[in-house]
């Protein structure tokens, strides 16, 4: 169901977004990767003619709309939309300032809203579409010291459920994938920050995060990409409005 279809992947320059973009390319999709660093985006595509890299910030709607217009001119209207762009930062709740709060919501929630709202008309017109938000187990439970991030990811899950109800008769499914701690550059930054703020070594911080997963390991980006491919498949058309936990049993909604 992905071969020949135009897929948009935001935050496609590294981590989960890069793995998802590569998996879609391998399945024959035409893939537009969006992000803020052109060199990183181009490296993910590795010269594949079925891919294109466009610089765009999902928090800036006008620039995003321009990038999506350019993407459609090359590969046609989008049919698969993966809202993956995100960021995480930590602080005790009483130390969170308004700038931190606004930044976490802008990237992790408003960015999903912007991308989904900009692309939904094309999916509805086609009568077929897959909209997938890369959320987090932080959208299904609470974690200490990341209240703004948790709030944004909970909002993303709520947005997915509401939009799925609106599009249920349009041939468009809307879902979230919610990984636990995944082996990505974002995880490396989180471990470094934990070590810096707690005085523990990075290895001690890593082990503390590993213990949150009952399988005793971090989720791999390719596992998240496989879940996205399944959601795009022909047998997933009844699966909508869901938040799929990929967490080794940490969260079982």
Angle between helices 98-105 and 147-167 (to 10 degrees): 30
Options 149, 225, 231, 232, the catalytic residue: 149
Diameter over CA atoms, the chain: 54
Q: How far is it, in rounded angstroms, from Cα 165 to Cα 173? A: 9
Distance CA(159)–CA(113), nearest Å, equals 8
Q: Judging by beta carbons within 10 Å of its beta carbon (0-12, 13-18, 19+), is residue 3 exposed, middle or buried?
A: exposed
Is residue 143 part of the annotated active site? The answer reads no
Residue 235 has a CB neighbour count (10 Å cut-off) of: 8
Do 216 and 210 meet the contact criterion of CB atoms below 8 Å apart? yes
Q: At how many degrees (to 10) do helices 221-232 and 15-26 cross?
A: 50
Bridge partners (DSSP) listed for residue 177: 134, 244
- Which residues make Cβ contacts (< 8 Å) with residue 16, sequence separation at least 6? 84, 134, 179, 182, 184, 221, 224, 225
What does the alpha-carbon distance between residue 91 and residue 95 come to, in Å, rounded to a whole number?
A: 6
DSSP secondary structure code for residue 109 in this structure: I
Which is it for strands 51-55 and 30-35: parallel, antiparallel or unpaired? parallel
d(CA 21, CA 27): 10
The residues annotated as belonging to the active site are 149
């Amino acid at each position: 169901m992905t071969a020949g279809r135009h897929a948009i992947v935001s935050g496609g320059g590294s981590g989960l977004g890069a793995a998802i973009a590569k998996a879609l390319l391998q399945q024959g999709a035409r893939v537009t990767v969006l992000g803020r660093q052109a060199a990183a985006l181009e490296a993910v595509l590795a010269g594949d003619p079925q891919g294109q890299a466009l610089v765009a910030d999902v928090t800036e709607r006008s620039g995003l709309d321009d990038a999506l217009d350019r993407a459609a001119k090359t590969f046609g209207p989008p049919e698969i939309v993966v809202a993956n762009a995100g960021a995480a930062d930590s602080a005790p709740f009483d130390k969170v300032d308004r700038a931190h709060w606004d930044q976490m919501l802008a990237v992790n929630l408003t960015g999903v809203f912007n991308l989904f709202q900009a692309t939904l008309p094309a999916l509805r017109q086609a009568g077929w579409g897959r909209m997938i938000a890369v959320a987090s187990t932080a959208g299904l439970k609470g974690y200490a010291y990341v209240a703004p991030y948790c709030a944004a990811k909970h909002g993303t899950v709520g947005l997915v459920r509401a939009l799925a109800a609106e599009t249920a008769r349009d041939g468009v499914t809307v879902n979230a994938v919610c990984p636990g701690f995944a082996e990505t550059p974002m995880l490396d930054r989180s471990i470094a920050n934990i070590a810096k703020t707690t005085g523990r070594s990075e290895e001690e911080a890593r082990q503390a995060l590993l213990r949150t997963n009952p399988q005793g390991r971090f989720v791999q980006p390719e596992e998240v990409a496989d879940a996205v491919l399944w959601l795009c498949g022909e047998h997933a058309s009844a699966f909508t409005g869901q938040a799929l936990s990929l967490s080794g049993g940490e969260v079982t909604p």
